[in-house]
Amino acid sequence: MARRGKKKGRPVSGWVVLDKPVGMGSTEAVSKIKWLFQAEKAGHAGTLDPLASGMLPIALGEATKTVPYVQDGAKVYRFTVAWGEERSTDDLEGPVTNSSDRRPTEAELRALLPKYIGVIMQTPPQFSAIKIAGERAYDLARDGETVEIPAREIEIGRLDIVEHGTDKTVFEVECGKGTYVRSLARDMGRDLGCFGHIAELRRVEVEPFTPEDFVTVAELEAARFGGRTEAGPDEAAIPVDFSAIDALLVETAVALDCLPQVAVSDDAATKIRLGNPVIIRGRDAPVEAEEACATARGKLVAIGAIEQGMFKPKRVFAG
């Protein structure tokens, strides 16, 4: 039998809240961050199209176990809709498929917005990662196929007009998991009889992270290479100090702010990491919770359930 190879990279854990630039794909961004940190493993919490910029939370190491909680968090986008043209991709990338000389007034837009607030049904774009009969919709669309993509339920908390001009309108939307902003532009354009597509898209928040957590590729490179944008020719021969770049990480536990928090002792933490339940002490400790996270000295220990005053671990984190 072949022997399993050693893991390559450092066992570093935490979140990089990347301010992704336009033109960089989400997979490319993850590879770049993984390389900069020399991390064992990395993954992102929600794809951001290459033509979009903004918040792409990237998990390193143990933080990858908390990705689903960030994916489920509310997101805030600021986007510009260009009126008068509908495109195959619902953004600037695709060719024009419908056009109109009509332009909406601000009053018409404000009258329309309530239709898109709350729990609504939305049909994803033809160019999306939705699977149809086992294939990605964007692969079928690139082959020239038009497929029926079923509408699905999404939730929009707010949709505001930031700035309105004759040919373009800037919006800000707070929405839940699975919302396609490109579909919003397409559907509003159709409702208004003028067509529309995304001309600019920026994700400004992914709960629980905020714009204060943003870090750019340039800042990460400067921290990693001491002001240089890339490694020098003798880099491999020089011991690398990762302290500056590691300082830019957000703690893994921040991703679980949505869960009840239980502080445990070092002894209890050791038992939990071995998969054993422990009695929860303290006046403010919850008695029952389907999901909660245990911490020791501010560090994440495990995700688990609280039943009858006991914390029962389901997923543990390395100390």
Q: How many CB atoms lie within 10 A of CB 45?
A: 25
What's the CA gap between 301 and 264, in Å, rounded?
Answer: 9
Q: Which helix (H) or strand (E) holds 31?
A: helix 26-37
CA distance 198 to 183: 9
pLDDT value for 8: 81
Does the annotation mark 213 as catalytic? Answer: no
CA distance linking residue 199 with residue 184, whole number of Å? 13
With 0.85 as the threshold, say if the pTM is over it: yes
Q: At what angle do helices 26-37 and 217-225 cross, to 10 degrees?
A: 20
Q: What are the structure tokens assigned to 86, written together?
A: 């509908």
Q: Beta partners for 250?
A: 15
Element containing residue 243 per DSSP (H, E): helix 243-246
What is the SS3 assignment for 248? coil
Burial 79-113 (b: 16+ CB within 10 A, else e): bbbbbbbbbbbbbeebeeebeeeebbeeeebeeeb
The pLDDT of residue 147: 73
CB 45 within 8 A of CB 64: no
| Among 19, 49, 90, 187, the one annotated catalytic | 49
CB within 8 Å of 164: residues ≥ 6 apart: 106, 109, 170
Q: Which residues pair with 262 in a beta bridge?
A: 294
13-45 tens-digit pLDDT: 999 999 999 999 999 999 999 999 999 999 999
Binned at pLDDT 50, 70 and 90, residue 229 comes out as very low
What whole-number distance in Å separates Cα of residue 164 and Cα of residue 174? 19
Average pLDDT over the chain, rounded to whole? Answer: 89
Of all residues in the chain, the percent with pLDDT exceeding 90 is 71
Task: Tell me the pLDDT tens digit for each residue of 150-185.
Answer: 889 999 999 999 999 999 999 999 999 999 999 999
